[in-house]
Structure 1
Amino acid sequence: MPIVERELEGFTLVGSPKAGSSISSFELKNEKGRFKDFTYKLSFPFASVYRIILTGPDRPRPPHDNIILPENPLSFKLTSLDTKNCKATFDFPEGRGGESAASKFDGSNRKRILELSWKEHITLNVYEFIGKDKVRIIGDLPNRSYALTDKGIIRHWWVEPDNLHLGLGEKAAPLDLSNRSFTNSASDSAAYDAYNTDPLYKHTPYLISTPKPTKEGAEVVSTYAIYHPTNSAGIWDVRRLHDDPWGHFKAYTQDYGGLEEWVMVGKGVKEIVRTFAELVGRPKLVGRDWLGYLASGMGLGESDHPPAQELLSTWPDLCRKHDIPCSAMHLSSGYTVDPATGNRYVFTMNEDRYPDFKAMTAHFHKHGIKVCPNIKPYALVTHPQYKQLQEADAVFRDPAVDEQVVTRIWSAGVGDNEKGSWVDMTSEGGRKWWADGVKSLIDLGCDGMWDDNNEYFLHDDEFVSQTTFPHQLYSPAEGKASIGLLGRLLNTELVNYVSHNELIKAQPDRRPYVLTRSGNVGTFKYANSTWTGDNWTSWHNLRGSQAIQVNAGMSLMQSTGSDIGGFGGPLPSPEMFVRWVQLGVTHSRFCIHSFKPDKNDMSGAAATNTPWMYPEVLPIIREQIKWRYEYLPFFNHLMWLSHEEAIPSTAWLGYGDFSSDHNLYNQEILEGFDAWLGVGNILVCPALFEGQLTREVYFPKSSSEDKSLYFDLHSPHRQYTAGTRTTIATPLEHFGLFVREGSVIPIGKKQHTVTEISGPARTTPDGIDVQLDSEGGLVGLDDWRGIKIFPSKNGKSHQGNWIEDDGISLKPAKTIISVTYSGKEHSVDVEVSFLQNDFKTLWGKTLDILLPEGDVRKVVGAKEGIRDGRRVWTIEIA
């Protein structure tokens, strides 16, 4: 808790607005006393979003560029005004016609009003009408809504005792954030506990609050979210605190600056997430090659005997030997290790380990494997370019002694640190140094950048930076500004900004790939992928990773995953490794990565997680990875939905149409591990306990009348009805995967493929053509497409679409295919058409339709055949 909490009071109305008039903002000001010249301003950027800005002489509006929406507020109606009693009432605006405004994502069609009072303390309450009932959605805590700390501000709200709280980016499990407190900051949280450690690596002050239906068919109040776009550190208390006479409440404490607050209201979590995306930017499109198996092994890149390049260059042969498809290799920072000191010096090369780095990348490219190197935005004082950074004034300064900041930073191995400095990315010199380093790696053939160790954990918020920004910020600070006000993660954002821009400069036609460990909300305008950092190998952390994944997805980190098998700690057991891989292949980012320094587990460079490390379970691992490639067209489509509609590929069970199912809000489900892969498509029911050979599954329903079937992918003749429960078998070979009736699941070959015979999808930027399997290589052509459909026998018609593109272009042409089908007792009718046909797929117009295994019905008008031992029905799209 802050040492000082001074309550804000004594505001008066600015101007002379008239009741019944339309206004663009409503403003209050404090003209005397302790808080003289503080102002409070209410406006509506969207019809379902209102914004509050509260600033004062020593509390400026937070500097940031975390909102992409231009400042162009809507008019809203001042329905009543009582200046004597300091009260006003407002209607929510109707929105702008013809534009992509968040009002289109509301979905409730309910009348909403705001009631504001300021006679003593400012208090705002928001209501909506459900039938004739006036129901509060969100409200300030009476007589305590706003208070000041030493340099920041506190917000207090009334709290709904039974709401579900979600979001806040990357936060520890379980899924429901209620009755806990969270730090809005970032830390290098190596070996974290997935249920207890806070903070982790991201800064996302965005909290969703959604009601829990108490019974079937119950109508509930709207969902809302609160977002503070500041980069300053803070704390969210979500009904953990209790203080009479106020009882329980929600509170947000921001360390520095004035308040900028955006409140989104909508019908359910899906609409809130989409609205949030309209404010801050939809997730970036991820390249298709980054959706397959991503290899990475810190131990491999650290090898001196044999040299790491020699060891890594055997990787394609190992993939061939073990029949494991692979799309990319992440190079950990071992390539930057100085042979004399053992320290890591970013943008330098250990030529003993890597005598010809460019030849190594070309070798990977020939086998269809992209290369992404690890880079870190700091320099130890012994770095060969450290003086260059000092001379460029690219290092933070300590104003107390007027010296450049030198601190302790991770340097070599576990727990090692040396003196060094974080590079100030708000300085021109810092950005130029980073850009030159990124370009040097691109010139060596690297396809993407892995921006790592970028939490900027400076230990004093009074340190200052240059603030020469490369882009426009809201309320940019003039001259040097404190780290506390700017926020440390503004530098993280700029690291990714430079990496992103340098990749586009070098490869203007290609989709950039930037992977970041840390980030504020603005970071993801530039980075299109992330992961949950240096996790610790345990069943406990495997289980916790699922909730982190789901909340991150609702916070627009929609290409993410965990290090499969655990980064640090002991090697996973064969059973744990299998279960982690099985879960990982359902996530949007699938990477097996680790650093296992314990020589008692395995020796030397072999001490790392690899698909083939346990021969006894290799067939299971192989099948899971090949499943991932078979479903890669589906994952590519899900990434398009993420990019265009902000729908997470791994989603909470109550997302979208399923929010009304009251069964999904009980403790068993909320603290469980089931999730959607593609909302309403594949129900993922993992087995995440040691020795778990059976488990219970609940099948979500979209309404009280929903009787849709769920088809067991492992035993398709087994079908279950929405709203029911069953006990399933979870042998080591698989856990539960159930496809909902009406789904359209595009599939491809069970191998790494390229989407074009020639061009960027086939040829890497260094001019290397991927060697195809027909030429003795590991990569095939994406020249076959199947669609799995799941019809009932009651004649009900279903429709679905999916998107195809080349998977590589910055501005891709795309093709959209529509499928409509219905099933009868002995036949299935299917209609397929192109809604858009701009990308010419290698499979052309020929599709194979796959019914659930064991389904002997015929597809009307299609040609029956056999592919890979399965019955298919071939059709030509007209």
Structure 2
Amino acid sequence: MIERPLTGFQLVDAPTQQKHAFVLANPHGYIFTLAALATGVLRITLTGPDRPPPPHSNVTLNGAPIPLASVENDARLRRAVLRPPPDSSSQGGRGVPRYEIHIDWEDTIVLEIFQLTPGAEPLRIFGDTPHKSYCLNHAGITRHTRLDVNSLHLGLGEKGAPIDLSNRRFTITGSDAAGYDAYLSDPLYKHTPFLVSIPKPLADDPTDDPTDRPLRAAVGLYHASNSDATWDVGKWINEPWTLFKKFEQECGGLEEYIIIGDGLSDVVAGFADLVGRPKLVPRDWLGYLASGMGLGESDEPIAQELLSGWPELCKKWDIPCSAIHLSSGYTVDEKGNRCVFTMNTRRYPDFAEMCRVFHRAGMKVTPNVKPYVLEDHPDFKKLHDAGALFTDPSTGKAVVTRIWSSLPGINAKGSWVDLTSQAGQDWWRDGILGLVDLGVDAIWNDNNEFLLFDDEYICKNNSANAPNAVRGPIKLGLVGRMTNTEMMAKVSHDALLARHPDRRPFVLTRSANVGTMRYAASTWSGDNRTCWKSLQGAVAMNLNAQLSLMQSYGSDVGGFAGPLPSPELFVRWVQMGVTHPRFCIHSFKPNEKDPSGSATNNLPWMYPEVVDIIRNEIKRRYELLPFFNNLNWQSHLRATPPNTWLGWGEFATDPTLYSKEILDGFDYWLGHGQLLVCGAYFAEQVSRRVYLPRTSKEDTAVYYDLHEPYGVHAAGSWLDNVSTPLEHFAMFAREGTALPIGRDSVTLTQRSGPAIETGDGVKVRTVEEGGLATYDDWRGLEVFPSPPGATGREYVYRWIEDDGVSENPETAAFEVQFGAEADTNSVRVAVKVEAGQFKPLWLPRVWIALPVGDDRSVSTAVEVTTWKSRKVYAIDVA
């Protein structure tokens, strides 16, 4: 181990190109810079003769740094105090506290940030570890910062449960972690060096309520390098150095961003301002997504025959489905090896016609692609000769290694394609375009962790898209393996857009660095294992991934590897999956048998005894598709995750949410502050204890139990013995919630155009035409007003609608206002068009449903009928 502290710095003038930066340099050629890119976003760089700036394209925030006013600047005493401009207390609508920066370079550089509150002493919210803040390691930088034991630590992308990362150590890299332990395995598939520290509200006096006191600011740290790294969040204890967090980057210089916000949501929004907002997911990819390796691997009957029968199976079982994933079985050669961009014409004699079968049924198609070639791949020599493979500098030859290639788990010799090379990118683009021309709608980038474990390997780095400003060969360790993951996503994305520029491209990726998610709209938790522990761990993994801007995230429902799930486990996984942004049932069960005795995958209808429950859950997901689509828009516009930790936003001051029972538990928001999802995650769990979050001591809101008539409960209360029968999770709607709902089937948002015609020119067939789709011509609103007797509380909910398909869609924003009428047994509801040109098919009428068991009427209704044995009230949209 090497940890050599950097010392001897002196204040120097900032160069012209770094205007407004605070710059220090030492005699050994190491340069430290501090700059403010925005009021709550600071950038630190530390580079030297053998620690070059990290090459990347992760940061998208443009514009010159803002000036930091000098409160004190004493070069002789080697200290300074800096503040952002006094008129810049917020950035982009997010909350940023007033703060000042103290920097001391007497020994090592020590930077501290203090929150400024009128009438109170400055409060430190961030600090370097004295005497050991910035150190050289073998080939990179190690960074020590103070650890606050009274803080919650979240983020780091895709990490095992529980949600609190404190006192744990993580590897920042991607690995093919098939069958991982959802609590213990590390690393998994993603490279996301973004860590948020959130102060816990402390109740020192039992008569005092911490919700009445302002919290210290939340602070995020992001390291923009794609080099492999480790984050030690207080696990390593070394008493002489005080308590610390430790970030250890393996190669190159440091580029660190400190993001300051009033709370977690503000830090996440600041991170999104820095690296880019989540992509807008096409609407069809919000529904049930089918998959299964067993179907695509079949030789008898052939895979195309099996897959082409999928729409009829969905029709038989009355289960809506929006898309099918094609495993890499379509690329398998006569030896059983996977050869990307080739076609097994025996299994798939007419691939294009199979795509048309799905399209007529209203289902999209995405094929699996892998960024490597075996030595006997038809294009291996072509890629080798073109310089599209990585180079081993010790031999001067292309890197050949062991690669997963066949079933079950067989490896063969081959090469990863260097997607920083122009030749590699050209080949990849041609392959993607070939698939699009066969009719596929999207691309599934898989096995893209680029498992090359020698930092000395050379990337060509000669493409127009390469992240390094200086073109030419570069060491893999410095540029980072997952730069290739990012380039793979970019080329896939750009090829889809090139062929269909009017359609919203959809790339699904298994692995990712931060830059990848500018091109890939969705990801998932990889090859999980079928067991209750995986189901339980998926909750925390999902929440940390989403707040790390992987906001269209989910798990393989039912478990990918291992045995078939029991009927009970499968039901519980589906119930969780339908509340996550990405809902896909996927598996690999080559040696398992379903009740009929056939080799199988996880399929919705595999257990007839529970298929009715599965159907109801999936249909409810489709009813809520307008709600999910709005969450998708809020994610895209404001970086608000569809699922959030219970302490998100205004709930952060509730001290109960920081208790071990909650942090190690499994509850979360679906739609921040709207639906509280309280699942069953243990065998035979038919009841459980639930806490209802509050915003303050004065919070008088109630929660409606969605499954219990007249089930109204006060915020801030614990409920014992909440019912969780196999038929459903427990779920609560907070007072003020409104849920736009639609039909419980695959729906078409327009009667002509891209919403009803796929890229290969196929028109989707509706039910009336013998197909499976219906028109999105009915809109309901489930509203949850104040309970009877609690008048005077008015609520407003806004949602966005669009065609769900277009790359640059027209939109319409709608607003519903509702509240209990005074002295009457009724609720007043009004809906209006707020803005936009899009004309949904359901206009001009909306149907209002009150909570289960609520016998009040809607005073503004123009018509009354029944829906699901409940009264619904029609109102016209103004």
Same fold (TM over 0.5): yes
After superposition, residues 161-240 of structure 1 pair within 5 angstroms as 161-215=149-203, 216=209, 217=211, 218-240=213-235
2:10 is matched with which residue? 12
Query: Is 1:87–2:79 an aligned residue pair?
Result: yes
Query: Is 1:838–2:837 an aligned residue pair?
Result: yes
Matched position secondary structure for 1:411: strand
After superposition, residues 450-469 of structure 1 pair within 5 angstroms as 450-469=444-463
**Could you report, residue by residue, the CA deviation over 1:427-477 in whole angstroms, capped at 9, with x for unpaired residues?**
11100111011011101100000000000010211100111132374x534
Matched position secondary structure for 2:236: strand
Distance 2:179 2:679 in 1: 23
Preserved contact between residue 590 and residue 599 of structure 2 (Cα < 8 Å): no
| Shift in Å, 1:150 | 1.5
**Could you report, residue by residue, the CA deviation over 1:723-757 in whole angstroms, capped at 9, with x for unpaired residues?**
00112011000111111111111000011111011
Stretch moving more, 764-773 or 574-583 = 764-773
Number of matched pairs: 861
Stretch moving more, 124-133 or 620-629 = 124-133
Of 257, 269, 293, 1:274 maps to 269
Matching residue's letter, 1:867 = W
| Shift in Å, 1:820 | 0.7
2:206 is matched with which residue? none
Preserved contact between residue 591 and residue 599 of structure 2 (Cα < 8 Å): no
Distance 1:308 1:586 in 2: 31
After superposition, residues 278-427 of structure 1 pair within 5 angstroms as 278-338=273-333, 340-427=334-421
| Shift in Å, 1:406 | 0.2
2:759 is matched with which residue? 765
Using structure 1 for the length normalisation, give the TM-score.
0.96
Inter-CA distance 228–95: structure 2 relative to 1 (3 Å threshold)? farther
| Shift in Å, 1:868 | 4.2
| Shift in Å, 1:703 | 1.6
CA RMSD of aligned residues (A): 1.5
**Could you report, residue by residue, the CA deviation over 1:805-851 in whole angstroms, capped at 9, with x for unpaired residues?**
00000001111110111113501111211111311100111110111
Stretch moving more, 601-610 or 580-589 = 601-610
Stretch moving more, 784-793 or 483-492 = 784-793
After superposition, residues 620-659 of structure 1 pair within 5 angstroms as 620-659=613-652
Matching residue's letter, 2:523 = T
Using structure 2 for the length normalisation, give the TM-score.
0.96
Matching residue's letter, 1:162 = N
Distance 2:350 2:76 in 1: 79
Matching residue's letter, 1:479 = G
After superposition, residues 561-580 of structure 1 pair within 5 angstroms as 561-580=554-573
| Shift in Å, 1:41 | 0.6
**Could you report, residue by residue, the CA deviation over 1:678-725 in whole angstroms, capped at 9, with x for unpaired residues?**
001100000000110110000001122111111111114111110001
Preserved contact between residue 560 and residue 588 of structure 2 (Cα < 8 Å): yes
Preserved contact between residue 14 and residue 22 of structure 2 (Cα < 8 Å): no
| Shift in Å, 1:860 | 1.2
| Shift in Å, 1:599 | 4.0
Distance 1:510 1:81 in 2: 54
Matched position secondary structure for 1:763: coil
Of 25, 32, 42, 1:50 maps to 42
Distance 2:599 2:736 in 1: 46
Inter-CA distance 745–677: structure 2 relative to 1 (3 Å threshold)? same
Preserved contact between residue 105 and residue 274 of structure 1 (Cα < 8 Å): no
2:250 is matched with which residue? 255
Matched position secondary structure for 2:609: helix
Stretch moving more, 547-556 or 765-774 = 765-774
Matched position secondary structure for 1:441: helix
Inter-CA distance 603–229: structure 2 relative to 1 (3 Å threshold)? farther
Of 810, 813, 818, 1:816 maps to 813
2:546 is matched with which residue? 553
Stretch moving more, 823-832 or 544-553 = 823-832
Stretch moving more, 153-162 or 860-869 = 860-869
| Shift in Å, 1:246 | 1.4
Stretch moving more, 268-277 or 241-250 = 241-250
1:693 is matched with which residue? 686
Query: Is 1:73–2:65 an aligned residue pair?
Result: yes
Matched position secondary structure for 2:235: strand
Distance 1:440 1:605 in 2: 34
Inter-CA distance 300–602: structure 2 relative to 1 (3 Å threshold)? farther
| Shift in Å, 1:866 | 2.0
Distance 1:487 1:662 in 2: 40
Distance 1:200 1:322 in 2: 36
| Shift in Å, 1:606 | 4.0
| Shift in Å, 1:107 | 2.1
Preserved contact between residue 74 and residue 95 of structure 1 (Cα < 8 Å): no
Preserved contact between residue 45 and residue 256 of structure 2 (Cα < 8 Å): yes
Of 125, 130, 144, 2:112 maps to 125
Matching residue's letter, 1:305 = E
Preserved contact between residue 235 and residue 254 of structure 1 (Cα < 8 Å): yes
Preserved contact between residue 47 and residue 95 of structure 1 (Cα < 8 Å): no
1:243 is matched with which residue? 238
1:782 is matched with which residue? 776
Distance 1:588 1:811 in 2: 22
1:873 is matched with which residue? 873
Q: Report sequence identity in percent.
A: 51
| Shift in Å, 1:772 | 0.3
| Shift in Å, 1:673 | 0.4
Distance 2:654 2:819 in 1: 26
Matched position secondary structure for 1:273: helix
Matching residue's letter, 2:267 = I
Query: Is 1:500–2:506 an aligned residue pair?
Result: no
**Could you report, residue by residue, the CA deviation over 1:518-557 in whole angstroms, capped at 9, with x for unpaired residues?**
0100001100000000000000011000100000010000
Preserved contact between residue 299 and residue 604 of structure 1 (Cα < 8 Å): no
| Shift in Å, 1:23 | 7.1
**Structure 1 unaligned blocks of 5 or more:** none
2:102 is matched with which residue? 115
Preserved contact between residue 594 and residue 606 of structure 2 (Cα < 8 Å): no
Preserved contact between residue 632 and residue 747 of structure 1 (Cα < 8 Å): yes
After superposition, residues 141-152 of structure 1 pair within 5 angstroms as 141-152=129-140
Matching residue's letter, 2:384 = Q
Inter-CA distance 230–804: structure 2 relative to 1 (3 Å threshold)? same
Stretch moving more, 865-874 or 350-359 = 865-874
Distance 1:839 1:530 in 2: 29
Distance 1:102 1:206 in 2: 21
Matched position secondary structure for 2:777: coil
Matching residue's letter, 2:101 = L
Matched position secondary structure for 1:468: coil
**Structure 2 unaligned blocks of 5 or more:** 204-208
2:520 is matched with which residue? 527
Matching residue's letter, 1:258 = G
| Shift in Å, 1:92 | 2.3
Matching residue's letter, 1:842 = L
Matching residue's letter, 1:160 = D
Matching residue's letter, 2:578 = V
Preserved contact between residue 46 and residue 102 of structure 1 (Cα < 8 Å): no
Query: Is 1:610–2:597 an aligned residue pair?
Result: no
1:598 is matched with which residue? 591
Distance 2:765 2:280 in 1: 26
Query: Is 1:662–2:655 an aligned residue pair?
Result: yes
